[in-house]
Amino acid sequence: MNVQDIVNTVSQKAGLDQATTEKVVGTILSVLEHEAEGTSASSFFAKIPGADHLAHQYDVMAAAPAGGGGFLSSLQGALGGVLGEKAGALVNGLAALKASGLDMAQIQKAGETLVQQAEAAAGPDLTNQVLGSVPSLKAHLGLG
């Protein structure tokens, strides 16, 4: 199972269009990539072909577009600076998910389906190990 299979399933089960689903899945993967450290994260991404590419495409730590964002962007920047990259990745990822126009129920359904698909692809132990290293993400996705 590759990342496109996961995007297709999340799209179908969460009732989201392909582009929005790709952004949500890519954003969540990017948060995991930045926050989950060590061999479990690299093993996790190795088991899902294309996941690292999608995470990079929706990199939550990439520079914000010039001239845009206003107060929220400056708040994200300040929090990221104060709390370090790890918290910054989570703050940026959550802001990106909320900015996608989805409500929390849709984000949670997409996140729940993504986790189920990741468990099928990478195995439940490895998936839980990676998610366990980012407990606040699990809570925001309604998985904690």
Token pair, residue 126, equals 């490895």
Q: Which domains does the chain have, with CATH numbers?
A: 3-140 (1.10.490)
Q: What are the two backbone dihedrals, phi and then psi, of residue 129, each rounded to the nearest 5 degrees? A: -65, -45
Residue 13's pLDDT band (cuts 50, 70, 90): very high
Which CA distances in Å does 56 have to 26, 33, 82, 91, 104?
8, 9, 24, 17, 24
pLDDT digits (tens, 9 = 90+) for 62-97: 855 444 455 555 454 544 444 445 567 888 898 898
pTM: 0.83
C-alpha–C-alpha distance, residues 91 and 125, integer Å: 26
Which CA distances in Å does 39 have to 36, 46, 55, 101, 115?
9, 10, 17, 34, 19
